[in-house]
Structure 1
């Protein structure tokens, strides 16, 4: 039986590109030639997306038209694949469920037509949006799932990962390795407004947990907090600033926690240029466990976030809502600490 990777190999593209083209993703920036080639290749190989076997009751189940509201662009997905992985999780499970992704909209780029949006049976939002603003635009029903953002509104279903517990575990592990001077590198947490492209900055849950945990141990140092871009540029820039501020009175941290693997990649590059060795001189622990994390030198210690499962869970919750559930549910997925060679015991 033909698999998606067979189509991808013959067409000379990635599995993700095949998935998005076959799913009709209008936000995918590829040439018409590439799009046509993938469609023709899938047809020539007689590729059929995998679907679960349905019994009589399932085949008679109503199919729902849903929308995906994204808060990052395709360019941002490439820089940091975190949200892309969540989205692919949604797309893959929708092919097995009676959910048809009829609209894909990007906050700040797509035109949100109230009539079109309210014609949908429900929506999944990936990222942070102003839920009050969302409710003024999507008034048809409460069939909304917020993925990777807990708005605390209590009206919608929520799917998040337990970043708070993961951050505390990282600090516990670093402290067990005798680290006390620990820095945090992160990005800005932004809530986006759909109607007017407005933005509101909030404190990221990882930073909140880091601050609270370090204060509990009387180790918090505001000077060890660096907030920049979410990608490698942000990590690189933050280390450069850290080096500028280092002195006898302000020693360089012995351990660094980064809020994403792309940030860690940029940070490790800047450390290499400064001849600061990882983990001999400084330990690094990150978040996400993207594929590249296991191929860096040294291999990156990171928190495994089950992003694809987050997307699948969001779709399942939405279907449950569409089938009649009215009580909002918050699903908190656990994470796993993956310890590799980028951390070690503090050295004198």
Structure 2
């Protein structure tokens, strides 16, 4: 290994000068030429300072935290979702990207369908739950695993960290936009999810709840203009076909995901109707496909990848000793495109 003396001989300076240059001594007065020569010689000889070697040794001795990621969907459902409704897949990408950014490589993927979840989680330091979680499993983990962060779900904000969006505010912005456009007949197309509990109960979507509250407050809510299925393109297509077949179509629709909205666009086009001339649409999530749909979708933008990144940061903070649980709300915004008709009015 090269020494300071070796560098001094080749650079034709004293050993003290070499030491002070390589340790960035601000009080040392030398020419730039001398400083650069010392640095270049040290690189050629492969020299590292004692301070740097100690720091590297410390880093080697620090074990990277082992993080588990629970996904509510199966591998097949996730692979389908990449092309159909990639919302949770993008959150997972955000988690994994931030782990890499933090130098964490010991991630463990755990699916809600795994029969040996508890055994898989025995040797992890923290857990990120994307979506829901079986509450009986959560209760069993309480005594052995304190570092848990939930993304897109908050079962107990007094005990666990969570990363959410404000569904009320986001839905209200979409509905107010349609109402301000003058639409009074506004339908709803959305999906339902199970709570991943032992009873597999269906969870009512907050977007539907807020939609109903707003429409009822205006005295214009109609139960027959609400269509509920699953969050997929196929279901969006089928539900819009059902609405068209029923007749008396609303002037506009709030659709709870872009994937469903893209399916609905296909059904509208097959019926020889036009968006936004015959039916205006505002959707949700603003995935990449929304911008490139047959009619570009006005959509509530959710910073999906950021949800995952924030989840990792919260978990590392918790592992490092924070005891107070935090609930972080990531903002959303309405992105105006062609499907709601507002852009056409602005351009005219």
TM-score scaled to structure 2, two decimals?
A: 0.77
| Selected match of 2:284 from 284, 287, 292 | 287
Which structure 2 residues correspond to residues 8-157 of structure 1 after superposition, within 5 A? 56=55, 59=59, 61-73=62-74, 74-78=78-82, 79-108=84-113, 110-137=114-141, 139-152=143-156, 154-157=158-161
Alpha-carbon shift at residue 290 of structure 1 (Å)? 1.1
Contact 1:234/1:263 (CA < 8 Å) preserved in 2?
yes
Alpha-carbon shift at residue 118 of structure 1 (Å)? 2.6
Contact 1:61/1:98 (CA < 8 Å) preserved in 2?
no
Alpha-carbon shift at residue 186 of structure 1 (Å)? 0.7
Question: Aligned partners of 1:219, 1:151: CA distance in 2, in Å?
Answer: 33
State the number of aligned residues: 285
* Equivalent position of 1:260 in the other structure: 257
The alpha-carbon distance between structure 1 residues 272 and 266, as it changes in their structure 2 partners (threshold 3 A), is: same
Question: Aligned partners of 1:322, 1:84: CA distance in 2, in Å?
Answer: 25
* Equivalent position of 2:305 in the other structure: 308
Contact 1:105/1:112 (CA < 8 Å) preserved in 2?
no
Alpha-carbon shift at residue 297 of structure 1 (Å)? 2.4
Alpha-carbon shift at residue 338 of structure 1 (Å)? 0.5
1:186 aligns with 2:190: yes
Contact 2:68/2:107 (CA < 8 Å) preserved in 1?
yes
Per-residue CA deviations over 1:101-134 (Å, capped at 9, x if unaligned) read 43201112x2334233132111101012233432
Question: Aligned partners of 2:119, 2:249: CA distance in 1, in Å?
Answer: 55
Question: Aligned partners of 1:113, 1:143: CA distance in 2, in Å?
Answer: 16
Question: Aligned partners of 2:139, 2:81: CA distance in 1, in Å?
Answer: 26
Alpha-carbon shift at residue 96 of structure 1 (Å)? 2.0
1:327 aligns with 2:331: no
Per-residue CA deviations over 1:205-242 (Å, capped at 9, x if unaligned) read 11111111112212221111111121111111111211
The alpha-carbon distance between structure 1 residues 83 and 113, as it changes in their structure 2 partners (threshold 3 A), is: closer
Per-residue CA deviations over 1:115-155 (Å, capped at 9, x if unaligned) read 33132111101012233432225641221111011224531
Q: Mark the structure with the bigger radius of gyration.
A: 2
Contact 1:66/1:122 (CA < 8 Å) preserved in 2?
yes
* Equivalent position of 1:341 in the other structure: 338
The alpha-carbon distance between structure 1 residues 105 and 231, as it changes in their structure 2 partners (threshold 3 A), is: same
Alpha-carbon shift at residue 327 of structure 1 (Å)? 1.0
Question: Aligned partners of 2:339, 2:106: CA distance in 1, in Å?
Answer: 40
Alpha-carbon shift at residue 162 of structure 1 (Å)? 1.7
Which structure 2 residues correspond to residues 144-223 of structure 1 after superposition, within 5 A? 144-152=148-156, 154-193=158-197, 198-223=199-224
Stretches of structure 2 that go unaligned for 5 or more consecutive residues are: 1-53
Question: Aligned partners of 1:276, 1:179: CA distance in 2, in Å?
Answer: 17
Counterpart secondary structure, 1:281: coil
Counterpart secondary structure, 1:192: coil
The alpha-carbon distance between structure 1 residues 132 and 111, as it changes in their structure 2 partners (threshold 3 A), is: closer
Which segments of structure 1 move beyond 6 Å, counting only runs of 4 or more? none
Counterpart secondary structure, 1:184: strand
1:274 aligns with 2:271: yes
- Higher fraction of helix: 2
Contact 2:110/2:120 (CA < 8 Å) preserved in 1?
no
Contact 1:278/1:298 (CA < 8 Å) preserved in 2?
yes
Counterpart secondary structure, 2:146: coil
